[in-house]
Structure 1
Amino acid sequence: MDIQYLMRQAKKLEKAMADAKEQLAELSVEAESGGGLVKVTMNGKCEVTRLLVDPKAVDPADKAMLEDLVTAAVNAAVEKARAAADEHMARATGGIKIPGVAG
């Protein structure tokens, strides 16, 4: 095997991974809970970019319900964001499983 060829391939893979990681911030997923009472938008880096709470979900007498709805929506968004990031990184690496890297 040609070591120079392997080095070039490794550099290409490294660049593809770096580009893909940068693009994760542009990826967007949305999740909701309570039948849409709480909606969370998150990017591919698992950063919440938007949180919407329907006024119907705000009941001062039942603060715990709102907390549960927000928690559920955020957790669902994290799951979707991770899955989308894994898929995105898998495309960037050609499906190669690299420890410590999404995909």
Structure 2
Amino acid sequence: MNELIRQAQMMQKKMLRTQEEIGKKEVETSVGGGMVTVKATCSGEILSVVIDPAVLEDVEMLQDMVLAAVNEALKKGKDMMQGEMAQITGGMKIPGLF
């Protein structure tokens, strides 16, 4: 029983360390053929938004592209985080982990 508890504690420490490390990794995505590019961390922090000046004339389209790029960057980061954590947990779904 003690061995099982020790293993669970080691897995927990490894998961926390991995979450921290992955959270610092950056992902980048662009939409509209590169007209809007968003860079974010895997923990969900938006680092930069780059907009091609050619798209500034159509504000509605620009808003849609920024929204799409931000959502895609956040999805990429979340997917990367989940993939890394699945490697640690062996695919087990642990509620509240991520």
Deviations 1:30-59 (A, max 9, x none): 111111000011111111111111111111
Percent identity reads: 38
Residue of 74, 84, 88 corresponding to 2:84: 88
Query: Larger C-alpha radius of gyration, 1 or 2?
Result: 1
Residue number in structure 2 paired with 1:67: 63
TM-score (normalised: structure 2): 0.91
**Off by >3 Å, runs of 4+ in structure 1:** none
Equivalent residues, number:
98
User: Contact 1:16/1:93 (CA < 8 Å) preserved in 2?
Assistant: no
TM superposition shift of 1:98: 0.6
CA RMSD of aligned residues (A): 1.2
Provide structure 1 residue ranges, at least 5 long, that are not aligned to the other structure: none
Give the letter for the 1:66 counterpart. L
1:26 is the counterpart of 2:24: yes
TM-score (normalised: structure 1): 0.87
Name the SS for the 1:92 alignment partner.
Answer: helix
Provide structure 2 residue ranges, at least 5 long, that are not aligned to the other structure: none
User: Contact 2:37/2:51 (CA < 8 Å) preserved in 1?
Assistant: yes
